[in-house]
Structure 1
Amino acid sequence: MQTSAQPAFVLHSRAYRESSALVDFLTPEGRLRAVMRGARGKAGTLVRPFVPLEAEFRGRGELKNVGRLESAGIPHFLTGEALFSGLYLNELTIRLLPAEAPHPALFEHYAATLQALAGGRPLEPLLRAFEWRLLDELGYGFALDIDLHGTPIAASGIYRLLPDAGLEPVGQLQPGLFQGAELLALADADWSAPGALAAAKRLMRQALAPHLGGRPLASRELFMTLKEPSRD
């Protein structure tokens, strides 16, 4: 069985047998894993991240074969922190997105995020927006302007996140909790508000943690290692 041509991005690839590669793709039809024959030859130049592709896949099982793979646009050249951000998006998508579950809106958001990263846009808002979109697409999203009891978030209130339920009001600010004003800024995507970016990063880490199964993200650890100051 061969699918019709569809847009795709490579999320990850590794050597497979003598001259092939085992490749994870993101397509509007979901995350697909396929064998790319002759990936160590000329065709292998396409098996790299951040390149818009057009692909056809063959096979009925979970492991498919790449029938055709062609460039479908200008590659997104990411360097420095933008590169590590792109690798983080790829790893997060592989870890959380179920295989062969269609998410066309997420695919479009991913493509737009790569374009924004390549264009030098500020990283943190892009990463937080993608994390939020991924959680929401998977059914793990929650309201930022209403608590789990259905009461509007109060700017002066203090809240904690219950990942399987939503935001719960609490009496006193402690480490790991959130001020209502921060949550309302996030609801409006107002990244200029005091504390909004830090709160968004903390909130997304708490929301993602239960779905990552306690296994750290390699791209996040590598990024943090490279940001540490030299001790020479």
Structure 2
Amino acid sequence: MNRIQGSPGYVLHARPYRESSQLLELLTPGEGRIAAVLRGGRGRGRSTARPFVRLDLAWSGRGEVHTLNRCDEAAVLRLTGARAVCGLYVNELAIKLLPRQLPDPGFYAAYEAVLAGLADPAMPPEPGLRRYELALLRLLGEGLDFIDPAALEAQVTYVVPPQGLPRPAAPGEESPYAIGGDSLAALLQDRLEGRGQRREAQRLLRRLLEYHLEGKPIVSRQLIARGRLDRTS
């Protein structure tokens, strides 16, 4: 039997389970994404597990679905308006792309960082979202870590195919994975400046994520695209 006595974690998704329980998708640093049942989590006088809250967790069980023995709130991150939808986007990407039980403390740290940034009204949301998307793509096996920004030519347009290394675009070539050398270097060095670089980086990361999504829609992104919120992801 797998038994974890104490771990931080976050709720990625929650849905009702049986009469008064919840079935949770959780992100933890030591176990990655896991499924767990919070028994009686919807009973009278009991709080439900919710997103954007750092939890203190303990669980046990065999197989894919565990039973939570402890689920206490440790810190609440307050996301409102467009930033709350960006938080849903962050969670939705993790649910649809992150394999279960693939622990990666670096990705967990990137997840915590993007939520902290979204909860801080003084911080623009875009840089944190791009860092998070980049961290997720690296976890999925994209070769972005093997690109040397110093070897990129600023005025050259590159094609960065899924799970491949960049190559200069052929004359007249149009590709959804095209990006300017200056923008690609800035993305990899976390120094995106100006609207042009930000748009190119956003477009490339979105196309790479769509490749891995294999046609699965991102509902939170659709809300932004319909104009209900400011476009930030």
Tell me, yes or no, whether TM beats 0.5. Answer: yes
More off after superposition, 26-35 vs 133-142:
133-142
Q: 1:27 is matched with which residue?
A: 28
What is the aligned partner in structure 1 of residue 167 from structure 2? Answer: 168
Distance in 1, matches of 2:206 and 2:192, equals 17
Partner residue, 1:41: 43
Task: Name 2:187's counterpart in structure 1.
Answer: 186
Q: Aligned to 1:211, what secondary structure does the other structure show? A: helix
Of the three residues 43, 50, 61, the one matched with 1:59 is: 61
Structure 1 gaps of 5+ residues are none
The sequence identity of aligned pairs, in percent, is 39
1:175: how far off?
6.3
Change in 2 beyond 3 A, CA 1:103/1:154: same
**In 1, Cα distance between the equivalents of 2:23 and 2:180?**
45
What's the CA shift for 1:89? Answer: 0.5
Cα deviation per residue 1:132-182 (whole Å; 9 max; x = unaligned)? 0111123224258549xxx92111211112112121211336464222122
The Cα shift of 1:185 comes to 2.0
CA contact (8 A) 2:179 2:201 kept: no
Displacement after TM superposition at 1:184 (Å):
2.0
Alpha-carbon distance in structure 2 between the residues aligned to 1:42 and 1:204: 44
Whether contact under 8 Å (2:110, 2:131) holds in the other structure is no
Seen in structure 2, the aligned counterparts of structure 1 residues 65 and 216 have a Cα distance that, compared at 3 Å, is: same
- Aligned-partner Cα distance in 2 for 1:42–1:49: 20
Q: Which residue in 1 is equivalent to 2:198?
A: 197
Corresponding letter in the other structure for 1:7 = P
Structure 2 residue 11 is matched with structure 1 residue 10? yes
CA distance in 1, matches of 2:18, 2:85: 28
Instruction: Give the CA deviation at 1:81.
Output: 1.2
Matched residue, 2:210? 209
Mapping 1:90-169, distance limit 5 Å: 90-120=91-121, 121-143=123-145, 145-146=147-148, 152-169=151-168
Compared CA separation, residues 159 and 87, structure 1 to 2 (3 A): same
Asked if the contact 2:7/2:56 (under 8 Å) is kept, the reply is yes
Q: How many residues align?
A: 225
Deviations 1:40-91 (A, max 9, x none): 1267524100011010111021011111111122x00101111011000101
Q: Output the TM-score relative to the length of structure 2.
A: 0.88
**Separation in structure 1 between the aligned mates of residue 82 and residue 182 of structure 2, nearest angstrom:** 29
1:191 to partner: Cα distance: 2.0
The one-letter amino acid paired with 1:172 is P
Contact 1:144 1:184 in 2 (8 A): no
Q: Is contact 1:30–1:102 with CA below 8 Å preserved after alignment?
A: yes
Determine the C-alpha separation between the residues in 2 that align with 1:181 and 1:44.
53
Asked if the contact 2:157/2:179 (under 8 Å) is kept, the reply is yes
Aligned CA-pair RMSD: 2.2
Using the size of structure 1 for normalisation, the TM-score is 0.89
Encode CA deviations 1:105-157: one digit per residue, 9 max, x unaligned: 2112211211111012111111111000111123224258549xxx9211121
Aligned partner of 2:72 in structure 1 is 70
Deviation at 1:204, TM superposition (A): 0.3
**Do the aligned residues in 2 keep the contact of 1:185 with 1:193 (CA within 8 Å)?**
no
1:139 counterpart SS class: coil
Query: 1:48 is paired with a residue of what secondary structure?
Result: coil
Contact 1:143 1:166 in 2 (8 A): no
Q: Structure 1 residues 32, 228: CA separation in 2 closer, same or farther (over 3 Å shift)? A: closer
